[in-house]
Chain A
Amino acid sequence: NAGVTQTPKFQVLKTGQSMTLQCAQDMNHNSMYWYRQDPGMGLRLIYYSASEGTTDKGEVPNGYNVSRLNKREFSLRLESAAPSQTSVYFCASSRGPRTEAFFGQGTRLTVV
């Protein structure tokens, strides 16, 4: 019973490098989310996908792109990493609006 799986768990990037964070859920959920968590700021929504084929910007989308590859998978891409993107990234999924979300274990990303 995997739930929401994120890869990788840890990553160090140099400024300007690109990478993709992967997320997959096995609960047949419609909605998926990407958040970043920084000390004292809670979790801030980067992008979400209400259903397969749709994506929408959240609070802090600048510097990120997403792809909802299919119902199970929702990836987050950093095209040119910056030190300000050092954070812990969480992927989540839910059945739909107003329902509880289930979270992955997080990806700790450091940009040097």
Chain B
Amino acid sequence: AQSVTQLDSHVSVSEGTPVLLRCNYSSSYSPSLFWYVQHPNKGLQLLLKYTSAATLVKGINGFEAEFKKSETSFHLTKPSAHMSDAAEYFCVATYNNNDMRFGAGTRLTVKP
């Protein structure tokens, strides 16, 4: 079965330092990949998406992710964390059959 693995359940960074949230997917062919963010007691908002065009994808709020087929990875990065980035982040893979699978999530804490 297709699956998405987020390698860290919790990441803590200081404000102004880089953010790296790691995601690996398993599939026999390339999925479309997304990162969503969920602030406390809120719904989910799309940060960025990869759909087989450029491998480096830029999203909202300074986030970007790089698709690496050889590593089956789609890690999310941001050069400089802001307090408002504290949230839960989900990596999502979707395939031709509409089956959209989420990773378990990474909770990002940003320290002043």
Contacts and interface: CB of A to CB of B under 8 A. Distances in A.
Binding between chains A and B: yes
Interface of A: 31, 33, 35, 40-45, 48, 50, 56, 58-59, 90, 92, 94, 96-101, 103-106
B97 to A, nearest CB: 7
20 contacts: A35-B102, A41-B104, A42-B6, A42-B90, A42-B103, A42-B105, A43-B102, A45-B101, A56-B97, A56-B99, A90-B43, A94-B98, A97-B32, A97-B97, A98-B31, A98-B95, A101-B92, A103-B43, A104-B43, A105-B43
B44 A98 contact: no
Interface residues of B, number: 25
Contacts, number: 65
A98 B43 contact: no
Contact of A101 (B6, B31, B100): B100
Contact of B98 (A35, A40, A42, A50): A50
Interface in B1-26: 6, 9
Contacts of B34: 100-101
B90 A43 contact: yes
Contacts of A105: 42-43
Contact of A97 (B42, B96, B105): B96
Nearest to A58: B99
A56 B98 contact: yes
Nearest to B91: A42
B46 interface: yes
Given A45-B100, A56-B98, 5 more contacts: A41-B104, A43-B90, A45-B101, A56-B99, A101-B92
B27 interface: no
B43 A40 contact: no
B94 interface: yes
Report, nearest first, the 5 A-B pairs whose CB atoms are least far apart.
A98-B32, A42-B102, A42-B104, A43-B102, A103-B44
